[in-house]
Chain A
């Protein structure tokens, strides 16, 4: 057992850190620190910088543009990226559909889609959840019927993150209504500008527009847009969801936020002195830091295990990372609310355009707190994660 990173790993960390310092647009960083939303342009600009460096799809196999890094290097990269902070690669393309395509897609599909995912020439979104199919995803009803050389798609998806920016969607569709619910699903991709696709925004409690409803009304999709085999979509969906493991803990994000809390708590006064001098507050902050340290170590255990023994089967420890990671993220936003106190209330009428300079550091704290309630809901709610632990680990 050894906690230390090797010299090479430390040098790698320096390299990554320096690259972020020199290349992340300062305004992009500032907005992230303040918990603001980024524009499509800001995100794409950064991802293309990253891709040009060769780090856009770092965990992909080398032949498709990946880096060949060790699991420790991936961990370091993610941690530095999250804690700098810089925008994370667009998960829907890079972590989700990309790996499905290079693992299950045909040569033509790989050639057609993968480079465009890497350079975000296509912005991808995920068509999984439906109004009646959240945690029980396999009950989904969106239908794809084969008609000649086309799929005809009808139905509705929801919680479609950033669909308003998307060029492409990967969609779970029911292709065999008579089969057991997991067995009749296929994985189909198509352009968002196809005739019959309608995107309707959902405004969330933070006032933001991240998610959407997407309606399909007789959308015609060429048959070759099926990825892998017909009716095997559920397997690919499971593969996709299990693919993202250690990043889900978002240790770097919480680290950055805790540093910010400590910084702000040294400035904001409470009872005539900085709130950091309040013992009760300080202990709450320490409690959160300790939990995060434990999570970081748990994550390192998973990373080291993967490095040594390969990825193999999905590691149930990733459920621990999801549960604790989301809880800690939420606690950090609670602590920020506590620091800001009564100034949580003003509504940022200027939105995210940066024109409200006087309120910059306070304006997004309450929205960010509201927004972060999502992290224990998405990606398999924390209750679903507990089901997974109960079944896969404890054999209950």
Chain B
């Protein structure tokens, strides 16, 4: 049992923290947000230069063979700096599908572009009525010759505007809520029949609603078994949830730090408001919530390697519940303790709150995952 980082992991943490301290202050972030698709290509290339975009890929595939802990380190750092760039969509999710089930040809076609920063990906999964159920897929992929024709609508596709390649879940068999008959397909973003409506999201990221109308893809488009890929989707989305947990911990760390600094300096009634016990206790509770979240983020990171898939998803669901509860408390109280200034776009704390809030509603909220744990027969 060991919760320390190795020497290499510590170096990784220092290097990404250093990079973000240099290039990601709050003012720069505002500029990056205005670039095409809502993030900075220059920063993305810097991440590539430091090897961060190739981190989880095996050395044979041109990556650096990093594991869950490495991803946790990166996501926490990205959270801390409120980074806009599509690491989750491209490296964690897109990369996840390729790592777990990509053929050699698919990896050869896509991994080098991810690693060098020239290409980004997006995961087109959410549908109008699917909410958090990954098996709820109405989009269809019908066999045509060796390939498929994809029809359907996907929503809130993060990085949908800039992505070069879309990873699309689509049904090859059965009806909307069947757990079998679901495939995962690589679709070029500029394929004929793909139309996008892009927009900024509440937390300053960018997403797109994407319609697929008779989109033809070849035999090499399917990642894994086109008729039975739910387990693969669950595996990759579990990794995305773990990554979001780590990002949330970074966001909470920074929210707490910023809030404590604020109440130490803000004066009312002639004293720093941080001298008032009601505020001290609130801040202490924020610390407790953040530490509990950190513990579960670590747990989820390690659970990723559990052999039993059920045990793995149960642990990750539990982590998402803890993170959801903690982030709501820390986020809301950060605004409360900042008072009026916390309500303004000008102060950075509100932006942390917004990102935290959106994480709660991504890939299953607290209630959704709590129900999963409850129905699994418990955790103890």
Contacts and interface: CB of A to CB of B under 8 A. Distances in A.
A and B pair up: yes
B287 A304 contact: no
B341 interface: no
B379 A297 contact: no
A396 B283 contact: yes
A285 B380 CA distance: 10
15 contacts: A1-B301, A2-B302, A9-B1, A286-B371, A287-B370, A294-B296, A300-B1, A300-B295, A304-B3, A308-B4, A323-B288, A386-B281, A386-B284, A387-B281, A395-B260
B2 interface: yes
A282 B374 contact: yes
Interface stretch (A95-103, A138-146, A255-263): A255-263
A289 B3 contact: no
Given A1-B302, A294-B296, 16 more contacts: A1-B4, A1-B301, A2-B2, A5-B1, A290-B370, A292-B379, A293-B296, A293-B379, A297-B299, A300-B1, A304-B2, A387-B280, A393-B287, A395-B260, A395-B264, A396-B260
B264 A396 contact: yes
Contacts of B274: 396
Contacts of B295: 294-295, 297-298, 300-301
A287 B321 contact: yes
B322 interface: yes
Contact of A396 (B275, B370, B375): B275
Given A1-B4, A396-B264, A258 B287 contact: no
A324 interface: yes
Given A1-B301, A294-B292, A283 B284 contact: no
A290 B283 contact: no
A224 interface: no
Contact of A386 (B69, B280, B291, B292): B280
Nearest to B300: A297
B318 interface: yes
A396 B279 CA distance: 10
Given A286-B370, A290-B318, A290-B379, A3 B302 contact: yes
Contacts of B347: none
Contact of B371 (A283, A289, A319, A383): A283
A262 B299 CA distance: 24
A72 B2 CA distance: 10
A295 B326 CA distance: 13
Contacts of B3: 1, 300-301, 304-305
Interface of A: 1-6, 9, 72, 255, 258-259, 262, 279, 282-283, 285-287, 289-295, 297-298, 300-301, 303-305, 308, 317, 319-320, 323-324, 383, 385-387, 389-390, 393-396
B370 A283 contact: yes
Interface in B263-304: 263-264, 274-275, 277, 279-281, 283-285, 287-288, 291-293, 295-296, 298-299, 301-302
A387 B379 contact: no
Contacts of A292: 379-380
Nearest to B315: A293
Given A286-B378, A294-B292, A297-B298, A390 B321 contact: no
Given A386-B284, A396-B274, A1 B69 contact: yes
A323 B292 CA distance: 11
A305 B1 CA distance: 10
B281 A390 contact: yes
A297 B260 CA distance: 25
Given A308-B4, A387-B277, A293 B299 contact: yes
A329 to B, nearest CB: 14
B242 to A, nearest CB: 13
Interface centre among B5, B287, B321, B370 (most CB of A within 10 A): B287
A262 B378 contact: yes
Interface centre among B69, B291, B292, B296 (most CB of A within 10 A): B291
B277 A291 contact: no
Interface residues of B, number: 40
A118 B280 CA distance: 41
Contacts of A282: 374-375
Contact of A4 (B1, B280, B370): B1
Interface in B228-255: none
Given A3-B1, A3-B302, A396 B280 contact: yes
Interface centre among B264, B284, B379 (most CB of A within 10 A): B284
Contact of B378 (A72, A285, A319): A285
Nearest to B375: A282
Nearest to A72: B1
Contacts of B285: 386
B292 A298 contact: yes
Contacts of A1: 2-5, 69, 298, 301-302
B289 to A, nearest CB: 10
Nearest to B293: A294
B288 A289 contact: no
A287 B260 CA distance: 29
B288 A324 contact: yes
B321 to A, nearest CB: 5
Contacts of A290: 296, 318, 321-322, 370, 373, 379
Nearest to B272: A396
Interface centre among A293, A298, A304 (most CB of B within 10 A): A293
Contacts of A297: 295-296, 298-299
B298 to A, nearest CB: 6
Nearest to B376: A286
B356 to A, nearest CB: 17
Contacts of B283: 389-390, 394, 396
Contacts of A300: 1, 3, 295
Contacts of A308: 2, 4
Contact of B373 (A289, A301, A303): A289
Contacts of A385: 284
The 6 nearest A-B residue pairs measured at CB: A297-B295, A390-B280, A286-B374, A389-B284, A386-B284, A282-B374
B329 to A, nearest CB: 13
B322 A394 contact: no
Contacts of A305: 3
Contacts of B299: 3, 293-294, 297
Interface centre among B295, B371, B373, B375 (most CB of A within 10 A): B295
A394 B375 contact: no
B273 to A, nearest CB: 10
Contacts of B288: 320, 323-324, 389
Contacts of A5: 1
Nearest to A71: B1
